[in-house]
Amino acid sequence: MIAIHYDRHGGPDVLAVVEEPARDLGPGEIRVDMRYASVTPLDWKLRAGLLRAHFELTFPKVPGRDGSGVVTEIGPGVEGFAPGDRVCVMAAPASRGTYAEERISLASDLVAIPPSLGDAQAASLVNAGLSAHVAVFAAARIEPGMKVLVHAGSGAVGGLIVQLLKHAGCEVTATCRAANRGYVRDLGADRVIAYDEEDFAALSDQDLVFDLVGGETHARSYQVLKKGGQLVWLVAAPIVDSGADRGAEHGVTVTRAMIADAHEPVEAMLSMAARGEIRPQIADVLPLREAEAAHRRMEAGEITRGRLLLRTG
């Protein structure tokens, strides 16, 4: 079985392609033949050692927060899954990840894929979909007709937030680079602000802002909100307070979207995609053996439209 691992923190070149022996299943364990693994910002930041204060890794580390595959074997005591089931896989940041041809998981790590949804589409919706769903429906207070600004509207999470807000009846403005303006309009945004050509700070009277960028973007977002508005932030990493909470100063509420693996948001996003209510966005698909190239592209900021995937099977 082929897997990608690294035995120390460092650049993309620490990623190695290795052969690993298969092992027997224990009670409650499920063997999944992986088909796709998504490449997330957290993957390269963990590898680079930027998150050592937050996640203690055991080396060698197989990266990957999520993916999709097919159940091939179940261990004693497993209920709810059977060989042949198509599933999404969730992996905790410090656990053995999904950059592998095979992963042994627990039932709590798996979500069934609707029949009408492809494996690649499903893989693109796990962590990104979870993050978007939690931000919109748990952290934010949304109502139809609200004016909402979404930063980084072309990314894997931002693009899904744009779609969820439009489905909920909101008036959506999104920021992105000029090259992605048409792409974000196609996702449903009512207005697109190219941050390399325009200043989003010219906006006013927004009910809600989603900040997926942090730093100066966060600090300048307060001024576009109306009194009583809300700023929801989720920044992948390095994990820092996205600027001091200046909510009281501006008369707005500041909320961090707390992202933790859970079945319900992922199931909801998969169901919405299966019904055609949202469109999964895939930036590119590379072979598993090209994980190093995938990390280089991600770290260089080249992946700006949807989720980058590795084809694992």
pLDDT at 244: 55
The answer to whether residue 265 is domain-embedded is: no
Average pLDDT over residues 112-125: 98
What local confidence, expressed as pLDDT, does residue 245 receive?
65
Same domain, 31 and 119: yes
Q: Answer yes or no: do 135 and 250 share one domain.
A: yes
Span 229-279, pLDDT tens digits: 999 998 754 444 544 567 777 788 899 999 888 999 999 999 999 999 999
Structural domain includes residue 270: no
Domain that holds residue 201: 128-256
| pLDDT tens digits along 50-105 | 999 889 999 999 999 999 999 999 999 999 999 999 999 999 999 999 999 999 99
Specify if 264 maps to a domain.
no
Q: Is residue 269 part of a domain?
A: no
Dmax over Cα atoms in the chain, in whole Å? 60
Separation CA 266–CA 280 (nearest Å) = 13
Q: How is 146-201 classified by DSSP, letter by letter?
A: -EEEESSTTBHHHHHHHHHHHHTT-EEEEEE-GGGHHHHHHHT-SEEEETTTS-GG
pLDDT higher than threshold 60 for residue 298: yes
* CATH number of the domain to which 26 belongs: 3.90.180.10
Q: Are residues 229 and 156 in the same domain?
A: yes
157 φ, ψ (degrees, to nearest 5): -85, -45
> What Cα–Cα distance (Å) separates residue 273 from each residue in 25, 111, 116, 125?
33, 14, 9, 9
136 with 246, same domain? yes
Give me the pLDDT at residue 237, please. 43
Same domain, 121 and 6: yes
Do residue 102 and residue 208 come from a single domain? no
Tally of CA atoms within 13 A in the half-sphere of 152 that contains its CB: 21
Residue among 287, 285, 237 at smallest CA distance from 44? 237
Rounded Cα distance, 62 and 3, in Å: 7
Q: Is residue 267 part of a domain?
A: no
Q: Is 186 a domain residue? A: yes
Domain CATH for 144? 3.40.50.720
In degrees, rounded to 5, the angle at the alpha carbon of residue 112 between the alpha carbons of residues 107 and 113 is 150
Q: Is the pLDDT of residue 228 over 80?
A: yes
What is the mean predicted confidence (pLDDT) over 118-133? 98
Show the DSSP H helices in the chain as ranges.
41-48, 119-124, 127-133, 156-167, 181-187, 215-221, 247-250, 263-274, 291-299
Q: How many domains does the chain have?
A: 2
User: Do 93 and 34 belong to one domain?
Assistant: yes
At residue 167, what are phi and psi to the nearest 5 degrees?
-60, -30
Picking from 35-39, 173-177, 213-217, which range would have the lowest pLDDT averaged per residue?
Answer: 213-217
Q: Which tokens belong to 23?
A: 């092992």
61-93 exposure pattern, b = at least 16 Cβ within 10 A, e = fewer: bbbbbbbbbbbebbeeebeebeeebbbbbbbeb
Please indicate, yes or no, whether residues 111 and 197 belong to a single structural domain of this protein.
Answer: no
Residue 306, in any domain of the structure: yes
Are residues 154 and 121 located together in one domain of the fold?
no
Q: For 115, what's the count of Cα atoms within 13 Å in the CB-facing half-sphere?
A: 0
Residue 272 lies in a domain: no
User: How many whole angstroms separate alpha carbon 269 and alpha carbon 128?
Assistant: 10
Crossing angle of helices 41-48 and 291-299, rounded to 10°: 100
Q: What is the mean pLDDT of the chain?
A: 95
Question: Shortest CA distance to 194 belongs to which of 209, 211, 183, 181?
Answer: 181
Check whether residue 179 and residue 292 sit in a common domain: no
167 and 49 within one domain? no
Whole-angstrom CA distances from 36 to 122, 287, 302, 311 are: 9, 9, 20, 5
Q: Do 139 and 120 belong to one domain?
A: no
CA–CA dist 90, 108 (Å, integer): 9
